[in-house]
Chain A
């Protein structure tokens, strides 16, 4: 049975349709990456899946008692709020001190427990977020552009950490990323989103697409022309010609 089953999600914000007819199932242990141009609704989809946003149409079914480990895109802690890493890990529920230490080690930031969150570097901060996410032994780890603000080696190391974490606790992983070239090798499935699901497939299929680098270079122009595999649904809108242009 799926961990999360989202069907025909439609979400509008300020009269603008952000998501339309998005269906997505996540099975235990699988790694799924969502790619798409800016403003394509990737973060919105994740926030719908965790229950932070309620879609106008469609339904999200989460497995009974599903434990979600969520790593947000960025987290701004107000400077007036003093908080140590250890205190942060104990929110909202107190955790075993040894488990907290272990989670920090797993996330690659062992021994930082007594530090103030505000004194961490960008990479350390994201790893602490990861440590907190895995502390609850999640069934699914959700990462929203978790490497934003990290340099190339930093984000590569971060994704290696994710793979190690998944091996350790066997959770499913759903991530949103621009850095397809980094995350792709580990993904079971890649989903291309642009308001709706344009196409999805294995990373091999994606990597075989000659123009896939354009996604990370020239912006959104060629973003939808990347995938040469057969689409599993008809395209009856204006993205069509992009696809043909790449053939």
Chain B
């Protein structure tokens, strides 16, 4: 079954969508969209470094995304002007990465694969990384769910209940780096944030509790991945952007139908 590249692509998409859909809820609730962008864009720099040192792409991407996430985590705790700083870091990391990739001697790098994903070339090894990383993210969120939710609602309430919100934020930061490393092969560095945010945002209108929103978000992510792959094959387009197009369409339907229902009542 895994010999079929389409099956591998579908499995890669589904694994990534589950992890991103779940983590994406926290990205939305905590308004970490730009944080996600900065971490994801740093992945391109990770690709360059991995090629330069001859290590695996996942390792390079994971390491650089982690370094970027920790840097932002540290800076934001000092109360710097976070929004501007994230903007600077996100685009600086992207630009440096793009320049670095082209400067690597003796390599002709297919940049598109890293910017927009290349899910059709996913190997068994990639699948193992995606599902391993995805399982790690889901398990960690399952374990930390209540503490993270409390810290998200109010750091002070968390402290009073004996939960350290700084620690919870650090865990989220680490998980974000993990999702970036997992997702770059599927949707590419530029669209990772979209895969985090759009399913969660589409789920918001039809959820009454955080848990329902999380499950719905994962479902929408999986549907987008499968339908996006199918449509991309039919229309012969690249897969990553098509997955995001499907997710955005679901979001639009969710938003419009919610408004219509509200007007109707």
Contacts and interface: CB of A to CB of B under 8 A. Distances in A.
Interface string B183-211: 00000000000000000110010011111
A207 interface: no
Contact of B201 (A75, A80, A88, A94): A80
Given A47-B156, A70-B156, A92 B204 contact: no
Contacts, number: 75
Interface in A63-115: 68-70, 72, 75, 77-78, 80-84, 87-88, 90-94
Contact of B153 (A47, A80, A81, A94): A81
A92 B209 contact: no
Given A82-B209, A82-B212, A51 B159 contact: yes
A91 B163 CA distance: 11
A81 B26 CA distance: 9
B160 A68 contact: yes
Interface stretch (B8-16, B50-58, B95-103, B144-152): B144-152
A92 B28 contact: no
Contact of B204 (A69, A80, A90): A80
A83 B204 CA distance: 11
A136 B28 CA distance: 29
Interface in A137-185: 142
B215 interface: no
A87 B153 contact: no
A59 interface: no
A142 B160 CA distance: 10
Nearest to A65: B162
A116 interface: yes
A75 B195 CA distance: 29
24 contacts: A47-B156, A51-B160, A70-B160, A75-B153, A75-B154, A75-B157, A77-B153, A78-B29, A78-B31, A80-B200, A80-B201, A81-B210, A82-B204, A82-B210, A83-B209, A87-B209, A87-B211, A88-B153, A90-B146, A91-B146, A92-B163, A93-B146, A116-B208, A142-B160
Interface of B: 28-31, 146-147, 149-150, 152-161, 163, 200-201, 204, 207-213
